[in-house]
C-alpha cells in the first residue's frame, strides 16, 4: 500500500509496480460539469433549476447544437508504470478539519462553525461524547438519501446562508445548500496541494483545465499559484458562486476563463481547436444532465472523456487527475481505464482512495481515517 499522509500527499512505503506490457491495443458532467442528480456526498449533478443560491454574473455561456461524439482513438505501445494502491490523506488545513465521525455522520469544523452531516462510510461509533456533537452550530437533517435535498437545523442560533472560509491561501464562501454540501470538498486538498506545488515550481506559466469546476476553489488555487485557468461547469449558479469566490480572494484580474457549458461538448471543441493544457482536473458525477438536456452516465461516457483529455494534454503536461464519487466499482476499474487511455504516453498511473483523517476538537489529535472517493492520476516520470 502507498500512503500519502499530509496535504502535500507525500508517498510512504510505496509498492511500485514497474512491469511494462509489450502488447499493443486500443486503448457531461457533474453537479458541476454536466449537472444532474446529487452525488453520494450531496453534490448535485446538473442542477435542474439549481435552487441552491443566488448567482453572480456569468463570464461565458455556450449553447452549441448537438454534435456527434467521436470514437475512441486507437492506442499502441506500453501502458504506463503503476503505483497502487496510493492513499492520499488530507489532515486539518486552513479553516477546515474533520473533528469526529461515527453512526453514519461526521462532525466537521468549517471556519467558525461546527457542522454535522450524513456520512454513510462512518460505520463505527463516535470517539467524542454526545455533548460535543450536540454543540454543533448546524446539522443537516431530513431526507439523507443520495438524491434527497434535505434541510438544515441550527440548534444554537439562526445562521446566515454564507460565511467566509480560507484554504491553501484562497478565500471563498461557505454556503448551507439544500444538497447538504457547503461549497468545498476537503478530500480534494491532496490533489490541490499537489497541483499548487507543481505550478509554483515550474519556470513557465502552466495552463490548467478544471472540468466540473463547481464553486471554483481548485481554479482559484491554481490561478493564485500562477497558472492560466479554464474552468468549466454546466451550472450558471455554480459559475456565479465561483465568481463570487474570485472576488473574495482578490483574484479579479487573474487569468481565469469561466465557461458555462457541457463538459463533453467543450472538450470536443477544444480538441478540434488544437488547445492544449498542462494539468487537467476532471471530477465527473455518476449521472448528470447538461445545460441543454445532455445526459451523462459515468460508465458509458468516461472512456471517451479520458480519451479526449489525453489529446488535450500538452507535450510537457504534468498530470491528468480523475476523481470518482459514489460508484459501485473498485479503484482498479478507473486505474486500468487510465492506463489503457495513456498507453504509449509513458509516465506513471497512480490510483487509490482520497481519505480524510480525524483530528479532534483542536485539529491536532490524529485519529481514524474516513474514505471519501476513488481517484486515478497520470503523471510523467
Q: pLDDT by residue (tens digit) across 232-263?
A: 999 999 999 999 999 999 999 999 999 999 99
C-alpha cell recorded at residue 229: 485557468
pLDDT (tens digit per residue) in 18-37 = 333 333 333 333 334 443 33
At residue 326 the predicted structure's pLDDT band, cuts being 50, 70 and 90, is: confident
Query: In the chain, what are the domain boundaries?
Result: 2-92+180-379, 96-166
Q: What is the pLDDT of residue 18?
A: 36
Residues 275-302 have pLDDT tens digits of 999 999 999 988 777 777 777 778 889 9
Question: Which residue, 152, 130, 127, is CA-closest to 141?
Answer: 152
DSSP conformation class of 79: P
Third-level CATH fold of 2-92+180-379:
Rossmann fold (3.40.50)
Percent of residues, the chain, with pLDDT higher than 70: 80
pTM of the model: 0.82
- The pLDDT tens digits of the residues spanning 109-144 come to 999 999 999 999 999 999 999 999 999 999 998 655
How far is Cα 298 from Cα 26, in angstroms, rounded to an integer? 20
Is 282 exposed, middle or buried (CB count within 10 Å of its CB: 0-12, 13-18, 19+)? buried
Q: Which three cell numbers stand for residue 32?
A: 458541476
Cβ atoms < 10 Å from Cβ of 102: 19
Task: Report, as an integer, the average pLDDT of 70-81.
Answer: 94
The C-alpha cell that represents 368 in the structure block: 481514524
Query: Can you say whether the dihedral through the CA atoms of 212, 217, 218, 224 is positive or negative?
Result: positive
Rounded Cα distance between 32 and 30, Å, is 4
Taking alpha carbons only, the member of 150, 105, 278 closest to residue 206 is: 278
The CATH number of the structural domain formed by 96-166 is 2.60.40.1180
Residue with cell 495513456: 342
Cα–chain center distance at 264: 17
Amino acid at each position: 500500500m502507498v500512503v500519502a499522509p499530509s496535504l502535500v500527499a507525500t508517498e510512504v512505503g510505496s509498492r511500485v509496480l514497474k512491469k511494462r506490457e509489450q502488447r499493443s491495443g486500443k486503448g457531461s458532467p457533474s453537479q458541476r460539469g454536466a449537472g444532474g442528480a446529487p452525488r453520494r456526498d450531496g453534490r448535485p449533478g446538473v442542477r435542474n433549476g439549481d435552487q441552491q443560491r443566488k448567482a453572480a454574473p456569468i463570464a461565458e455561456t455556450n449553447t452549441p447544437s448537438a454534435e456527434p461524439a467521436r470514437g475512441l482513438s486507437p492506442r499502441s505501445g506500453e501502458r504506463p508504470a503503476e503505483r497502487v494502491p496510493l492513499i492520499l490523506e488530507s489532515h486539518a488545513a486552513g479553516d477546515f478539519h474533520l473533528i469526529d465521525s461515527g453512526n453514519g455522520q461526521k462532525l466537521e469544523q468549517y471556519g467558525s462553525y461546527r457542522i454535522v452531516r450524513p456520512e454513510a462510510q462512518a460505520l463505527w461509533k463516535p470517539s467524542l461524547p454526545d455533548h460535543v456533537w450536540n454543540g454543533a452550530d448546524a446539522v443537516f437533517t431530513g431526507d439523507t438519501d443520495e438524491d434527497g435535498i434535505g434541510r438544515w437545523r441550527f440548534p444554537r442560533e439562526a445562521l446566515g446562508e454564507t460565511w467566509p472560509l480560507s484554504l491553501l491561501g484562497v478565500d471563498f464562501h461557505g454556503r448551507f445548500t439544500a444538497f447538504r454540501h457547503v461549497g468545498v470538498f476537503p478530500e480534494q486538498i491532496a490533489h490541490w496541494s499537489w497541483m499548487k506545488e507543481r505550478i509554483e515550481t515550474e519556470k513557465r506559466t502552466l495552463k490548467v483545465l478544471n472540468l466540473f469546476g463547481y464553486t471554483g476553489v481548485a481554479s482559484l488555487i491554481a490561478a493564485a499559484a500562477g497558472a492560466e485557468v479554464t474552468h468549466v461547469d454546466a451550472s450558471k449558479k455554480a459559475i456565479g458562486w465561483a465568481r463570487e469566490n474570485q472576488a473574495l480572494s482578490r483574484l479579479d484580474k487573474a487569468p481565469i476563463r469561466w465557461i458555462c457549458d457541457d463538459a463533453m461538448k467543450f472538450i470536443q471543441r477544444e480538441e478540434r481547436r488544437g488547445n492544449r493544457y498542462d494539468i487537467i482536473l476532471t471530477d465527473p458525477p455518476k449521472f448528470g444532465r447538461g445545460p441543454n438536456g445532455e445526459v451523462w452516465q459515468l460508465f458509458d461516457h468516461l472512456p471517451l472523456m479520458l480519451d479526449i483529455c489525453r489529446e488535450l494534454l500538452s507535450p510537457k503536461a504534468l498530470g491528468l487527475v480523475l476523481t470518482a464519487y459514489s460508484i459501485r466499482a473498485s479503484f482498479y476499474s478507473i486505474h486500468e481505464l487510465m492506463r489503457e487511455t495513456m498507453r504509449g504516453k509513458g509516465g506513471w498511473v497512480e490510483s487509490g482512495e482520497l481519505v480524510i483523517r480525524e483530528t479532534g476538537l483542536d485539529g491536532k489529535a490524529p485519529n481514524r481515517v474516513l474514505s471519501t472517493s476513488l481517484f486515478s492520476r497520470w503523471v510523467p516520470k
